[in-house]
A and B are shown apart, each in its own frame.
Chain A
Amino acid sequence: MNQTKQVSHKLPDDHVQKLEQIAEVIAKYEAKPSNLIMILHAAQGIYGYLPYPVQKFIADKMNIAVSEVSGVVTFYSFFSTNPKGKHTILVCMGTACYVRGGKKLVDGLQKHLGVNVSETTEDGKFTLSVARCIGACGLAPAMMVDDTVYKSVNPNKLESILSKY
């Protein structure tokens, strides 16, 4: 089987306390299946992301199938099943940035960080993401780290940019 999704992560130390908080949210929403999206939204706020054990916990508490919870989590791009790193790197892959080498930046970052797009480095420091356009076409190719925009980036500059974090 071609396993595309990572299923098990090392769970955070405060896993149990966070599940208790999520249980309170579910109780507040009376465990109604129609409130699932709201509950997942709140749960992601508490836990940071929605890995399988959290989905399973929510499904059991709400008495619905975990395949249904997972179906909703994987449908909406807002929900993440991977932990977010301390910093988020956002590479622009809009038309202008793409033709000026955005793809090379993504390749360079993947190599440098050892992760694929939408994944987080093992030390939990960086999450690598791409965006279609960040509205900075004049600065192409551009990327952001958290709220800071870096302009005219090329793969050689990546190391010095990342070393600031």
Chain B
Amino acid sequence: MIQLTINNKNISAAPGTTILEAAKQNGINIPSLCYMEGVHKFGSCRICSVEVEGARTLQVACMAEVREGMVVHTNSKKVLKARKVLYELMLSDHSQNCLSCNRNQSCELQQLGEMLGVTENRFSTSSARESIDISPSITRDLSKCILCRRCITACKGLQGIGILDAQNRGFDTVISPAMELPLGAAKCAFCGQCTIVCPVGALKETDHIARVWEAINDPDIRVVMQPAPAVRVALGEMFGYPVGTSVTGKMATAMRELGVDDVFDTDWAADLTIMEEGSEFLDRAIAVLSGKKAVLPIITSCSPGWIKYIESYYPQLLPHLSTCKSPHMMLGALAKSYYADKIGFDPKKMFTVSIMPCTAKKFEASREEMVNRDARNVDAVLTTRELGQMIKQAGIDFRNLEDGTFDDPMGQSTGAADIFGVTGGVMEAAIRTVYVLVTGRELPFEKLHVAPIVGLDQIKEATLKFENVLPEFKLFEGFEAKVAVTSGLAGAKILMDQIVVGNSPYHFIEVMGCPSGCICGGGQPRSEDPDVRIKRLKAMYSEDESKTLRQSHLNTSILAIYKDYLGKPGGHLSHELLHTHYVDRSKENE
């Protein structure tokens, strides 16, 4: 261990620790802006500058490593003065229409100014960057960008893509795709991880709030709303609940108070997805086991950021994808067919809104093939953050709401659907059902969990052996299904490269585009809690365990829709409404 002093306090820290980390471990907070725990690469903002005795210049605490005998001052006169000037210079190049900014009061630049005691603008303000780039999912406002480069770290470091980088030089510097192409032309997956890390209002989701209010306020329009599994474990954070609090019941009530006509649940459609995707897996596995041709591994298709990624970078692997639409698109399609028929309502006057932890779902909803019977499956997609904003706009006292429930016939769900929101969950839900279908017995694991694929590791794998199978599945006797789960596009790349070179050992792969899965999707509330991932994960699994039914094929309203309407999984109507096709985007805009 290395001994040093920070602000006259004796501290020991492991070799390789930065001054910033060592200070933090000992309860000393050094103001910082561009710093990102775990993946920090650029010391670009210099706000964490500190004085090190004997050093010629101020040192950047997030980059400088501790040394034996180091004497550090984080609040000396010299430091405070430099930090303030650095901040003022940053502000001089930042659009200051704070009152009308989406990040007003949740802006890290604002918070920093308060911390540093900046009360006046000494330098005149003019932003050198003035352009706004609106893509289907993400909106970039370059006049607010402070060039901290966190988004570059998220895109290149975390996701392994590198759509964004610094372009040009000096005052002309912009953080942008190559050649300042708009995001929509740059093979961006729209995962939105950049919108989570942006400290200011430069990167955010493309607004759908206005169109939702318009629909709610139109008396002729019937508004149908559905929240994704991961929304319920994160929305509470916007109303002061601790990270990892489930607010399912209050969320349902809040939607109703907003003026929504039908409050359905994407969880219901997640159960439906398991029926469709499970049967698709069984069909392909049966074909292969009986010596016929079929494409394995089959890969999940619920995550639209992942879909856009594989369409752009691995088009040759598209036949591996499950043809299932993602759950909210299935629900949207059924709302405007099955449900509209049932209540005798014109589907063209129905407006379907999905609440998603995701920015890529906005793009997905706009895809041209997501239309059935001349009506868009989903008309608007709000992120969890946008729903929170709408609830605030409507003046709803969220914390004091009664718990509500979801509406029939698309509101009931099992625990298997809840875990769709977390890495490993879709696979576990599928295994729970497939195992029963093949063997007639419940999965023989504690609490039905497939332990090797639970958790936050980048790549997880498990093997499932089928024994004593039902007679109609005799081909499966002794079959060992190998499954893999990854979250984040860097992990997806590893698994896809294996398939490309032909040494992928798997039969079934789950991919979620965002690290940790939807619980930390690009549309979720921004959190400063370092344990946000594990806390939200635990909340998802407790939602699952709190349900009476925990296997999709036991959901009675799902069984009912097959009996009354769809026929059987993978049947004709399912194919029309619930399945889709994919597009090779590798040559787009070249």
Contact = CB atoms under 8 A, between A and B. Distances in A.
Interface of A: 1-5, 7, 52-53, 55-56, 59, 64-71, 74-76, 81
Contact of A70 (B133, B134, B167): B167
A154 B147 CA distance: 43
A67 B163 contact: yes
Contacts, number: 62
A71 B131 contact: no
Interface in B169-183: 169, 176-182
B131 A1 contact: yes
B167 A71 contact: yes
A4 B180 contact: yes
B394 interface: no
A75 B168 contact: yes
A1 B179 contact: no
Contacts of A67: 162-165, 167, 176-178, 186
Contacts of B177: 67, 70
Given A1-B132, A2-B130, A53-B590, A7 B165 contact: no
Contacts of B133: 1
B180 to A, nearest CB: 5
Given A56-B590, A81-B179, A75 B169 contact: yes
Contacts of B178: 52, 55-56, 59, 65-67, 69-71
B156 interface: yes
B590 A5 contact: no
Given A1-B131, A2-B130, A65 B179 contact: no
Nearest to B182: A1
B180 A65 contact: no
6 contacts: A55-B179, A59-B178, A67-B176, A67-B178, A68-B156, A71-B167
Contacts of B166: 71, 75
A69 B162 CA distance: 11
B534 interface: no
B161 interface: yes
Interface residues on B, range: 20 to 34
Given A70-B167, A74-B167, A74-B169, A5 B162 contact: no
A2 B131 contact: yes
A67 B181 CA distance: 10
Nearest to A2: B131
Contacts of A56: 178, 590
Interface of B: 130-134, 156, 161-169, 176-182, 186, 590
Contact of A7 (B156, B161, B179): B179
A64 B178 CA distance: 12
B182 A5 contact: no
Nearest to A56: B590
A3 B179 CA distance: 9
Given A2-B130, A70-B165, A74-B179, 16 more contacts: A1-B133, A3-B180, A7-B181, A56-B178, A59-B178, A64-B162, A65-B165, A67-B162, A67-B178, A68-B162, A68-B165, A70-B167, A70-B177, A70-B179, A75-B166, A76-B169
A5 B167 CA distance: 11
A97 to B, nearest CB: 24
A1 B182 CA distance: 7
A65 B163 contact: yes
A52 B166 CA distance: 16
Contacts of B180: 3-5
Nearest to B166: A71
Contacts of A4: 180
A35 B398 CA distance: 56
Contacts of A68: 156, 162, 165
A10 to B, nearest CB: 15
A2 to B, nearest CB: 4
A52 B177 CA distance: 12
Contact of B165 (A1, A53, A71): A71
Contacts of B162: 64-65, 67-68
A70 B163 CA distance: 11
Contacts of A7: 179, 181
Contacts of A3: 180, 182
B398 to A, nearest CB: 37
Max chain A C-beta neighbours (<10 A), residue from B156, B161, B162, B163: B162
A94 B504 CA distance: 64
Contacts of A76: 169
B314 to A, nearest CB: 14
Contacts of B131: 1-2
Nearest to B131: A2
A3 B182 CA distance: 8
Nearest to A77: B169
B311 to A, nearest CB: 17
A74 B166 CA distance: 9
A52 B169 CA distance: 18
Contacts of A2: 130-131
Nearest to B184: A1
Contacts of B590: 53, 56
A134 to B, nearest CB: 23
Contacts of B179: 5, 7, 52, 55, 70, 74, 81
A63 B491 CA distance: 17
Nearest to B183: A1
A52 B167 CA distance: 13
Contacts of B182: 1, 3
A4 B168 CA distance: 12
A20 to B, nearest CB: 18
Contact of B156 (A1, A59, A65): A65
B129 to A, nearest CB: 10
B266 to A, nearest CB: 33
Contacts of A59: 178
Contacts of B167: 67, 70-71, 74-75
A149 B181 CA distance: 38
A44 B442 CA distance: 65
A89 to B, nearest CB: 23
Contacts of B168: 74-75
A70 B178 CA distance: 5
A4 B131 CA distance: 10
Nearest to A75: B169
Contacts of A74: 167-169, 179
Contacts of B176: 67
Nearest to A71: B165
A4 B142 CA distance: 13
From B133, B165, B169, B177, residue with most partner A Cβ within 10 Å: B165
A71 B132 CA distance: 20
Contact of A65 (B130, B132, B161, B169): B161
